A = this chain, B = another copy of it.
């Protein structure tokens, strides 16, 4: 069942069928109507491979994330796919599993598929892996890669406001001993969150020494361990801001285990605002990073490149600003805390 057969059955040329299929206005309405009827009757479905080969585009975007099991990504993928579908674009989805060697493989597979654009939504990107895409002039958009945002389109995240809101929230509740539970230092997103924390602490007059920052690895367990360490201090913090929600959950668990009540005894703030944040007990106050905004911005940048074929200089990109969402894990600081 190909265009040939449709043409034959309709008594027109394949050119006409093709024009009808593509909504060309150069076809007489009556002819078009007739062709459409035949198409429906024959249940004809055009062959996209042929079309793509001919027009040199695929109407396909690639979407690469590091790990779909990370609850941060589903909403991003969901929205990205939604936007693409609305434009008749399909998305090939792949993941790297945090393995940077796999990024190169993913990119290659996508380039072979002739995709019209690639969204690389991983926290770290190994630049050489992108080489093939630039060489093939396949548009690429990255996530929060300040280091590379001159060479590639990038969805930038500005952490300052979110952390400032969090800090103000805590200081207004009387907290001054506030600790930041950070993550792996080589991750640029972590570096920037940490910098935003410090800037906000300084601005609010609660910046202290090095012990204001404690290290985790972004997983629940590390949050628990960190909190246990903090509770052994002679002056444990009255509030903890974690670099992500997962660690905040660990902090919550450790606080519970130590017999502390949240938020009466300790306030906890997470980052990301994953769906699970509101399922915690108490529901977690968290700095919300919008996956929808990221998806929308990534998609629109790719779409722009796709249409204008201008891989080079970006239009002014919209930054994404995380915002504080206040829930039940933060409250007024006790003036004097008893040792647990």
Contact = CB atoms under 8 A, between A and B. Distances in A.
- Mostly, the A contact residues are helix
Interface in A30-51: 43, 45-50
Given A256-B281, A276-B276, 14 more contacts: A45-B112, A49-B113, A49-B114, A50-B53, A68-B74, A68-B81, A69-B75, A74-B74, A81-B93, A85-B109, A90-B92, A91-B94, A92-B92, A252-B281
Query: Could you say which interface size class chain A belongs to?
Result: 35 or more
Contacts of A58: 49
A93 B76 CA distance: 13
B71 A78 contact: no
A77 B68 contact: yes
Contact of A136 (B45, B90, B111, B276): B45
Contact of A69 (B69, B256, B275): B275
A310 interface: no
A253 interface: yes
A78 B90 contact: no
A279 interface: yes
A52 interface: yes
A108 interface: yes
A95 B68 contact: no
Interface string A68-101: 1101011101100100010000111111000000
